[in-house]
Amino acid sequence: MSLTDAGTMPADPPAGPPADLLEGVRAKHRALWASGDYPAVADQVIPSLGAVLVSACDVGPGDRVLDVAAGTGNAAIPAALAGADVVASDLAPELLEVGRRRAEERGAVLRWEVADAHALPFDDAAFDVVLSCVGVMFAPFHQLAAGELLRVVRPGGTIGNVAWTPDGFIGQMFATMKPFAPPPPPGAQPPPRWGDEAHVRALFGDRVTGVRAEKRGLVVDRFSSGAQFRDFFKATYGPTIATYRHLGDDAARVAELDAALAALGDTHLRDDGTMTWEYLLVRATRA
């Protein structure tokens, strides 16, 4: 696995989406992530990812840390346990409430604030480290969200991000669901593009230095069959739930998606019952 370090000059950032469109997206995404049982995904499938990101960003005592699209605190809680002064922000208050309980159980002290990654309610340069663990990738207006990450971290501070890659398992899952899913809002970009190093470099451009990007694999041992993976995600994962809801009572299309997701899972399952989900870990310094 290689680490690279080079700069990319961005094009001028595109104009942001209209306020009414942004508000509509905000409401839909809040409902999407509150549906199902995302805490089960965080606890049973990806519990180690946040700590990996915290370690990669050298978070330690006294650091002012913001976790963007924090969900239930997958990265925020390990950062607080490392001694940092942490704010966990997310669009869905239901997820933050679960995170509060998780933090209390683990003895972690941090703040929880409802916030949209497109418009973070924090001052410029307010944090030493800004993190997002498979979170900001789901804010559909990528340049706007990237600009917010850059705005709230101080010059010389660290930005760290984990995102599923387009070619990895979750990227392939989104590609499988795309023909069945509702159309995205105008100007939206697919979440797995945050797992494409060239795309992330273009988003940050010369506003960061020392970019380090590394593809890694998360070993998942939660599923014994593709059908079990499919059924778990149908019940727990907001984007999958929304896709099935869009199909409504079209039994033929539902059966087609059922078969496609089960086949995808079976293709990635190894004989030992594990899968590897590829992600991109990026660390950069605010210029």
Here the tokens at position 214 are 């590394």
* Length of the chain in terms of residues written: 287
How crowded is residue 224: how many other Cβ atoms within 10 Å of its Cβ?
Answer: 11
Of 254, 260, 69, nearest to 174 by C-alpha is 260
Here the tokens at position 237 are 């994962």
Dihedral sign of CA atoms 58, 161, 172, 46 in order = positive
- pTM here is 0.93
pLDDT at 96: 98
How crowded is residue 145: how many other Cβ atoms within 10 Å of its Cβ?
Answer: 26
How crowded is residue 231: how many other Cβ atoms within 10 Å of its Cβ?
Answer: 16
**Helix, strand, or coil here: 171?**
helix
Percentage, residues of the chain above pLDDT 90? 94
pLDDT at 4: 37
Domain boundaries, the chain: 19-165+184-219+276-286
Q: In Å, how far are 35, 99, 174 from 106, measured between CA atoms?
A: 25, 11, 33
pLDDT at 3: 35
Percentage, residues of the chain above pLDDT 70? 95
pLDDT at 14 over 90: no
pLDDT at 34: 95
Give tens-digit pLDDT for 197-225.
999 999 999 999 999 999 999 999 999 99
The CATH H-level (homologous superfamily) assignment of domain 19-165+184-219+276-286 is: Vaccinia Virus protein VP39 (3.40.50.150)
What's the CA gap between 166 and 169, in Å, rounded? 8
pLDDT at 12 over 50: no
* Cβ-based neighbours of 232, under 8 Å, separated by 6 or more: 40, 222, 223
* Residue 13 pLDDT grade (very low, low, confident, very high; cuts 50, 70, 90): very low
pLDDT at 15: 60
Give tens-digit pLDDT for 76-111.
999 999 999 999 999 999 999 999 999 999 999 999
Give tens-digit pLDDT for 39-64.
999 999 999 999 999 999 999 999 99
* Residue 170 pLDDT grade (very low, low, confident, very high; cuts 50, 70, 90): very high
pLDDT at 6: 37
What's the CA gap between 107 and 19, in Å, rounded? 40
Q: At what angle do helices 169-177 and 238-247 cross, to 10 degrees?
A: 20
pLDDT at 35 over 60: yes
Considering only 6-10, 29-33, 167-171, 251-255, which range has the smallest mean pLDDT?
A: 6-10
pLDDT at 72 over 70: yes
Cβ(17)–Cβ(23) below 8 Å: no
pLDDT at 7: 38
- What's the DSSP call for residue 22? H
Strand partners, 89: 113
Average pLDDT, the chain: 95
Q: pLDDT higher for 180 or 16?
A: 180
* Cα angle: 12, vertex 188, 133; to 5 degrees: 90
